[in-house]
Amino acid sequence: MNTNCIFCKIANGEIPSSTLYEDDAFRVILDVSPATKGHALILPKQHIANIFEMDDSTAEKVFVLASRIAKAMKTALNCDGLNIVQNNGEVAGQTVFHFHLHIIPRYNEDGQHISWIPGTSEAEERESIATQIKALLN
């Protein structure tokens, strides 16, 4: 735990939150500044700044938990869709440097626009990128 990290304090129960779920490794809370009704955050109790610092076991558990939360939200909130968003680094929009996964229920005409402008790429460029990344995965 990082004693200067607000999400560490929330995840470990030092700061009150509207908790949806808690186990030894995670706390899931409702966001105090929600994009939509039911917007939640999955917070690891261990301080992990971003996905680049996360081990495979924790990553697996995060997404299993995200699936469980999403299914419960669909039933409880009757949302029309759902976004799962996770930002890494300031340039990507991360503002609290403790890993957190947003689960954002979506409703028709909710006014939110979580999107990007599609770019273009050439086959040669895609193959070069794929080759570089695959070499690091083996």
Over residues 23-40, the pLDDT tens digits come to: 999 999 999 999 999 999
Euclidean distance between the first and the last CA atom of the chain, given in angstroms as a whole number = 32
Interval 91-120 mean pLDDT: 96
| Active site (catalytic) residues | 100
Share of the chain above pLDDT 90, in %: 95
Nearest to 72 by CA among 16, 110, 28: 28
Q: Which amino acid is at 96?
A: V
Q: Is the dihedral of CA 47, 50, 53, 57 positive or negative?
A: positive
Q: Based on C-alpha coordinates, what's the Rg of the chain?
A: 17
Residue 59 has phi, psi (to 5 degrees) of: -60, -45
The predicted structure's pLDDT at residue 137:
93
The pLDDT, as a whole number, for residue 42 is 98
Q: In this predicted structure, what is the pLDDT of residue 115?
A: 86
Edge-to-edge strand list for the sheet holding 26-30: 19-22, 26-30, 40-44, 101-106, 81-85
Name the pLDDT band for 138 (thresholds 50, 70, 90): confident
Quick one: pLDDT band at residue 121, thresholds 50, 70, 90? very high
